[in-house]
Chain A
Amino acid sequence: MIKLDSVYKSFGDNHVLRGTSLEIAQGTSMVIIGGSGTGKSVALKSVLGLITPDAGKIYVDGKDASKGDRDAFLARFGMLFQGGALFDSLPVWQNVAFRLLRGSLKRPQAEAREIAIEKLRRVGLKSDVADRLPAELSGGMQKRVGLARAIAAEPEIIFFDEPTTGLDPIMSGVINDLIREIVVEMGATAMTITHDMSSVRAIADNVAMLHDGVIQWTGPVADMDASGDPYLDQFIHGRAEGPIEAVR
């Protein structure tokens, strides 16, 4: 289980997280929604330790995420970055097998390559992309490679940062379905941040709405449409009028 307990984070005068509290049960898929610049990415990166909160605690399986063996902690996670964040200088298969080629999870090169190709197949890519460089792939293919890299070491927890941003609706649907299938198949705990409502309905077990640095509403995805929460209602229906200022 992942638990954020009154997490605060500011960048200068910009108070992004103002006491964010959230719990994600093991084996469930939580989607955090909210407008641009509301701190969704900051919350996600705080869990991974990429950003250090100013105050508050983050627990993973009851243990303080800021303490203990960092390598062992990170080995439990996989992450799909918004832009893919693939390493330009490495061919696709080495991107996917990055963790398997070095460090505590190191395998022989042939075995790592085999696993990479299997993961590429799992996300719908043929083995002939394995030796290409990331720059030679389309945006959708890069996202799939990023997804393959996120699941390569079979992590217990997977984070997805804006998984469908920049993709056409069909490719977004493909990526959403893949994420759902993989999360269910692996039994992983998933945390996704997005403002794409089709992703929310496809991926989420539970939804949390982040606004003004706090969770405004959280609950099962099935309850989202009848929540009665004015912030959530405005967001999911994309209305300019409501408690959320359209120009922030």
Chain B
Amino acid sequence: MNPLAILARLGAAVLSILAVFGRVAIFAFDALTHIVRPPYYPREFAHALLNIGWLSLPVVGLTAIFTGGALALQIYAGGARFNAEAVVPQIVAIGMVRELGPVLVGLMIAARVTSSIAAEIATMKVTEQIDALVTLSTHPMKYLVAPRVLAALLTVPVLVGIGDIIGIAGGYTVAVKNLGFNSAAYLQNTVDFLETRDIVSSLVKGAAFGVIASIMGCYYGMNSGRGAQGVGRATKSSVEAAAVLILAANFVLTGVFFSL
């Protein structure tokens, strides 16, 4: 193939990726400004709080407890290689709070909430419900997007906090019941070792991941193609984008909090 043609294709691909980034950035900015500008839709917000926050608790709790338990087993087994089994409480605490809690909750929210938002909004688009909203003098960004993004911004940090606690509890249960750790000493070590910065970073990551997950769901839903295939593609793309962006944001935020 002609080298110029290859370059042209490469350029076109880069431009199209940059265009998507630009569109998502404009959409995100628009969504965030609609949160603070009236009119507000409290019923939609309450519904989003319930769906994103409360109904995500079981999956978040189960993910955290199994991860915490597995983490305790792994650290115990790995630490035994250089006589460092005693560090289980500290590593479980720091691992859950700094990394695994926020990331796993973020990915669970991407799987559960981003997909559901994208599928719901995409179906509304395909069935002309979004056009109907406009003709009924209701701005879709305000009615559909802003309540979901605000609910995710507020509830995902809470879910991350709960996930952190349940994950530590999972590690504690395994350590005390199976690995012979003393209950009081385990808890004391956990509390002593965690710093405020660890907890703040966890909650900030939760807020960022909540915004990413909800915006990706809304963006791909609002820009869905036609028919069942369009809805399917929008849902798949939203989860892929949310998961990748959550992991990328996690890397950046970890750098910001801990490499200083």
Chain A residues engaging chain B, CB cutoff 8 angstroms: 45, 48-50, 70-71, 74-75, 77-79, 81-83, 85-89, 98-99, 102-105, 149
Residue of B nearest to A78 (CB): B135
Contact B137 A81 (CB under 8 A): no
User: Complex: how many Å from CA A88 to CA B127?
Assistant: 10
Chain B positions 112 through 133: 1 when the CB is less than 8 Å from some CB of chain A, otherwise 0:
0000000000001001110110
Q: Write out the residue numbers on chain B whose beta carbons fall within 8 Å of the beta carbon of A81.
A: 128, 131-132
In addition to A71-B137, A85-B129, 5 A-B residue pairs with Cβ atoms within 8 Å of each other are A45-B131, A50-B131, A83-B127, A87-B132, A98-B136
Contact B135 A50 (CB under 8 A): yes
B15 adjacent to chain A (CB < 8 Å): no
Q: Write out the residue numbers on chain A whose beta carbons fall within 8 Å of the beta carbon of B132.
A: 79, 81, 85-87
Interface size class of B (residues with CB under 8 A): 10 to 19
Q: Write out the residue numbers on chain B whose beta carbons fall within 8 Å of the beta carbon of A105.
A: 137
Residue of B nearest to A74 (CB): B137
Contact A87 B134 (CB under 8 A): no
Q: Write out the residue numbers on chain A whose beta carbons fall within 8 Å of the beta carbon of B127.
A: 83, 85
Q: Write out the residue numbers on chain B whose beta carbons fall within 8 Å of the beta carbon of A99.
A: 136-137
* 29 CB < 8 A contacts A-B: A45-B131, A48-B134, A48-B135, A50-B131, A50-B134, A70-B137, A74-B134, A74-B136, A75-B137, A77-B135, A79-B132, A79-B135, A81-B128, A81-B132, A83-B127, A85-B127, A85-B128, A86-B129, A87-B124, A89-B47, A98-B136, A99-B137, A102-B41, A102-B138, A103-B137, A103-B138, A104-B137, A105-B137, A149-B136
User: Complex: how many Å from CA A88 to CA B39?
Assistant: 22
Q: Write out the residue numbers on chain B whose beta carbons fall within 8 Å of the beta carbon of A85.
A: 127-129, 131-132
Contact A87 B131 (CB under 8 A): no
User: Complex: how many Å from CA A117 to CA B227?
Assistant: 33
User: Complex: how many Å from CA A83 to CA B129?
Assistant: 9
Give the 7 A-B residue pairs with the shortest CB-CB distance, closest first: A85-B132, A85-B128, A74-B137, A79-B135, A81-B128, A99-B136, A71-B137
Residue of B nearest to A153 (CB): B136
* Interface residue from A45, A75, A103 paired with B39 (Cβ < 8 Å): A103
Q: Write out the residue numbers on chain A whose beta carbons fall within 8 Å of the beta carbon of B137.
A: 70-71, 74-75, 99, 103-105
User: Complex: how many Å from CA A33 to CA B128?
Assistant: 21
Q: Write out the residue numbers on chain B whose beta carbons fall within 8 Å of the beta carbon of A48.
A: 134-135
Q: Write out the residue numbers on chain B whose beta carbons fall within 8 Å of the beta carbon of A149.
A: 136
Residue of B nearest to A82 (CB): B128
Minimum CB–CB distance from B115 to chain A (whole Å) comes to: 17
Minimum CB–CB distance from A241 to chain B (whole Å) comes to: 32
Minimum CB–CB distance from A182 to chain B (whole Å) comes to: 17
